[in-house]
Amino acid sequence: MERVTKNFSKSLDIPWNTGKTIINKRYFGEKIGLYFAWLGWYTGMLIPAALVGLFVFLYGLFTMDSSQVSKEICEANTTIMCPMCEVNCSAWKLSDSCVYAKVTHLFDNGGTVFFAIFMAIWATVFLEFWKRRRAELTYDWDLIDWEEEEEELRPQFEAKYSRKERVNPISGKPEPFQPFTDKLSRLMVSVSGIFFMISLVLTAVFAVVVFRLIAMEKFASFQWEFVKKNWQFATSGTGVCINFMIIMSLNVVYEKVAYLLTNLEHPRTESEWENSFALKMFLFQFVNLNSSTFYIAFFLGRFAGRPGDYNKLFNRWRMEECHPSGCLIDLCLQMGVIMVLKQIWNNFMELGYPLLQNWWSRRKMRRAGEQNNVESKEQLPQWDKDWNLQPMNAHGLVDEYLEMVLQFGFTTIFVAAFPLAPLLALLNNIIEIRLDAYKFVTQWRRPMPARATDIGIWHGILEGIGVVAVITNAFVIAITSDYIPRFVYAFKYGPCVDKGYQHEQCLRGYMNSSLSVFDMGEPKNGSEYETRYCRYRDYRAPPWSSQPYEFTLQFWHVLAARLAFIIVFEHLVFGIKTFIAHLIPDMPKDLCERMRREKYLMQEMMYEAELEHLQKERKKNGKRYHHEWP
């Protein structure tokens, strides 16, 4: 075991170096070897993404104090904002949100669009170059001609359909067969179970939304002054923590449900079982992990209404609205907390849990040895020590791939709101690849080696995530971010239209332009601010106009710009992705030439062998005719 551990560690001297995966393949089999090769390749590809994301974040950090929007918010001492909750909130100064505006600029700045396009292209390049790397590995491991049809049938499938047989069109031998009607009925039950579990997730998200509405009022009337002033951060933070606990709790239920539904389908081979189980687990956990994130990105503050006509949930709780700086900081907080906590929890469960289990098993063995008068643990044979290790879970590599694929989704889908996601993923994976190596070699029994030519269904899931990432980032920039409203103001309503000033100078007066006016009536005696009018974030006509509180022309210009940006962004990025996918061949040129060379040599050998055989037959027949001639 020590020798294998040392060799395995040497094969992983550099976490992203996948050129030394031969030990993984020889000791664990091609399937686990491909997992470590893919994980190393993914980790290496995260380096440029992490560097660019860090550069975008530093750009926002260095320009935070020079941002025109942040300056206007911090200097707005006389701008009175309308109360942001129904009961315990009062009017407040816009300058009170100075820190909030500066933090928002860290993630919502000029580099947001560039980084979203870069990450969409990065995802395509990563998958295309992985195809090339996979082709090299399958060639080196002599898996080019191996097909999954060569797999044995699952014993459960044979036991279930042993009485129903048909002739295999490839082998010509009879084998168990699942009728189409039976397969369709089982599939419909499985799909119904999936939709039921997804509806359970949406119910949990709705519960978190209700909690945020209740907590919003409670924190606004909190006795502690620090919490009272930062009640929005307190509401978002507690909501994220509760959402994380719900996510981890539901994941346990999803695993059991996915296992039950997959066995109900009776897949034919182990690969089909694993692909079906992996798809269910991904759908469950993806919806569970991202549903609340989608709510914050695209629904939070969109249906709040306006002062005097607020929308209320169950006619009781006023809908939550975005801060004057936008909802992007809430989205960033949601992603950052869940990503960090989930990675810490996963690393503990991957290493800490097996360590505790093995410690308990050794403790029981030591007690048993003392009862049987065995002097020390070292007297046990090596196979007994290895058997004492924890067995690999019944799901195979599903849990390992699932963790990384969900991380890939977090790294790409909402990366426009959280540019530090690739950096956090890189740091986690450098540790992850070591923990996986240590776990496989020292904490788990050696799994049964299995052959595979690819990472299975996960490649298709990664491609689907890449497509979803383009769409969501386009909507995040257009709807959640303030990029489009600032752009419209700078080139249509700003002070430097047709003058060619710098961009930040063109945003002078932006906050005043994006705030509407509401008439609160005559100020009450003893009120903190002796004013009749308050401001709120929207594009509506003032109360003294001919059409009070109706949408202004600027609102429709911003809406049109948002829709145009979504269409242009998606077509541009999808076009670039398609071009790159066709530009990069799936197999390296030298590998193609080597395969063609081998095929040519094999044909030559077969031709020479056939020619030699014919010559021998001709000589043999010639001698026979010569002896038979009178």
- Show me where the domains of the chain are located: 2-144+154-587, 591-630
pLDDT digits (tens, 9 = 90+) for 575-597: 988 888 888 888 888 888 887 88
pLDDT digits (tens, 9 = 90+) for 420-443: 889 999 998 988 888 888 877 777
Residue 629 and residue 318: Cα distance in Å, rounded?
A: 112
Helix (H) or strand (E) holding 485: helix 483-488
Q: Tell me the torsion sign for CA atoms 46, 47, 48, 49.
A: positive
**How much is the pLDDT for 42?**
92
Question: Do residues 43 and 433 make contact, with C-beta atoms less than 8 angstroms apart?
Answer: yes
Q: Which residues sit opposite 309 in a β-bridge?
A: 306
- Name residue, tokens 């999808």: 574
Question: Which residues contact residue 134 at a Cβ distance below 8 angstroms, ignoring those fewer than 6 apart?
Answer: 34, 37, 38, 453, 454, 455
Task: Give which of 38, 91, 12 is closest to 527, Cα–Cα.
Answer: 91
Let me know if 416 is exposed, middle or buried by CB neighbors in 10 A (0-12, 13-18, 19+). buried
Helix (H) or strand (E) holding 517: strand 515-519
**How much is the pLDDT for 562?**
92
**How much is the pLDDT for 12?**
40
Residue 26 and residue 238: Cα distance in Å, rounded?
A: 48
CB atoms within 10 A of CB 6: 11
Q: Which residues of the chain have pLDDT under 70?
A: 1-25, 88, 145-151, 170-172, 220-231, 352-354, 357-358, 361-386, 390, 394, 497-504, 523-530, 622-630
**How much is the pLDDT for 7?**
44
Q: Within 13 Å of residue 597, how many CA atoms lie on the same side as its CB?
A: 6
Residue 458 and residue 281: Cα distance in Å, rounded?
A: 12
Q: Is beta strand 309-310 parallel, antiparallel or unpaired with respect to 305-306?
A: antiparallel
What does the CA dihedral 620, 624, 625, 630 come to, rounded to 10 degrees?
160
Helix (H) or strand (E) holding 559: helix 553-583
